[in-house]
Amino acid sequence: MALIDPIKLSQALIRHPSVTPDNGDTLDLLAENLTALGFDCHKLVFEEDGTDPVPNLYARLGTGAPNFCFAGHTDVVPVGATGSWSVDPFAADIKDGNLYGRGASDMKSAIAAFVAAVSRLLRDEAPKGSISLLITGDEEGPAINGTKKVLDWLEERGETLDYCLVGEPTNPQEMGQMIKVGRRGSLHGMLKVHGIQGHVAYPHTAKNPVPDLVAILAELNKEPLDAGNELFQASNLEIVNIDIDNDSHNVIPAEAKARFNVRFNNEFTPEGLQAELTRRMKRAGVDYEIDWWVSGDSFLTKKGPLSDAVVTAVQTVIDKTPELSTTGGTSDARFIKNMCPVVEFGLVGATMHKIDEHVAISDIETLSDIYLNVLKRLVI
């Protein structure tokens, strides 16, 4: 069985400029490597009206239980100001022991570490269970035609996952610091207040919606939503946009709009949070319209075989005990948690989404060692 070099595969993946959504070339390269290792690969393209078609990859080795899944994404965020990079963002250059490129940290190098770990396992022994990879091309984008639809496809086939490890960059500054065992949910509110347009010199003939909008926003932020708990930080509401759509200095606008986002912990369900926010908005005593969008619910993976295996693997490989955390934004783990226990562990995320994104070569090797150790604990 040929071994996969995680550094060379990381470079090869980065050299495919798969700004979200991935067009599929990166996934084809990945499938070639997995097919050579004996995986049965399925390239799955999903689309909906008004959205881009998105290719995804599901690959499985074996048919037995448990089915241990590595999950991740090949799409990357835009590079921003290319001239501000010290290197070509898609050349995958190595400088001073670091691999540079968009996706180096988030998260093509982790995918390469997945594959390298599997190749090393297969060189020495055959797993009793199955190993699978669920890789989407639409995590950094709307996430409509990605992981969630692959999970639906698996259910239609009568196939399930027993454990899942997502390779997002979980470590703040150095390897072994943090495993994500849960995430806060994300609720978006799109708020609109109607007025009557008119001349500012004749306010009695118009109705200014701005004071009403300000009153509602003040009520939303008047007191904390909760104090957090032992496992989650406090829920937090941020006003992210106010739009009056009025460039004139002497016109009272016809409407005022605002958008806000709440990252909420497990003290709330999405429905309970909407009810609490509605109660607060009604205190303002003004008319409004609101549209809600829940992009992810909060979840917590309880301590068990999966988290124990990842913690012990980190301790074994680098002699550190990682913190079990629920901090940060959302990931595709929010979909996977509906099928099986899921945790996240990957590279250092200090430069993800930034100019000159990079990771240490030694960290990629270390991550591959940790993934191999996890596999030996759960599928051998």
Catalytic residue among 75, 106, 297, 332: 75
Round to whole Å and give the CA distance between 73 and 22.
9
For residue 1, is pLDDT > 70? no
Determine the pLDDT at residue 96.
97
List, for residues 219-260, the tens digit of each pLDDT value.
999 999 999 999 999 999 999 999 999 999 999 999 999 999
**Average pLDDT value for the chain:** 97
Determine the pLDDT at residue 2.
80
Edge-first strand order for the sheet with 54-61 is 40-46, 54-61, 130-136, 67-73, 163-166, 342-344, 178-180, 323-325
139 is catalytic: yes
Distance from the Cα of residue 249 to its chain's centroid: 42
Q: Would you say the CATH fold of 185-296 matches that of 6-183+299-378? A: no
pLDDT, average across residues 113-132: 96
Catalytic residue among 106, 138, 139, 297: 139
Provide CATH code, domain 185-296.
Answer: 3.30.70.360
For residue 30, is pLDDT > 70? yes
pLDDT, average across residues 258-278: 97
| Residue of 61, 140, 71, 76 whose CA lies nearest to 111 | 71
pLDDT band at 216, cuts 50/70/90?
very high
pTM recorded for the entire structure? 0.91
Round to whole Å and give the CA distance between 63 and 61.
7
Q: Are 333 and 183 in contact (CB under 8 A)?
A: yes
75 is catalytic: yes
pLDDT band at 98, cuts 50/70/90?
very high
For residue 175, is pLDDT > 90? yes
- Please determine, looking at this structure, whether the domain spanning 6-183+299-378 carries the CATH number 3.40.630.10: yes
Determine the pLDDT at residue 247.
93
Domain boundaries defined on the chain? 6-183+299-378, 185-296
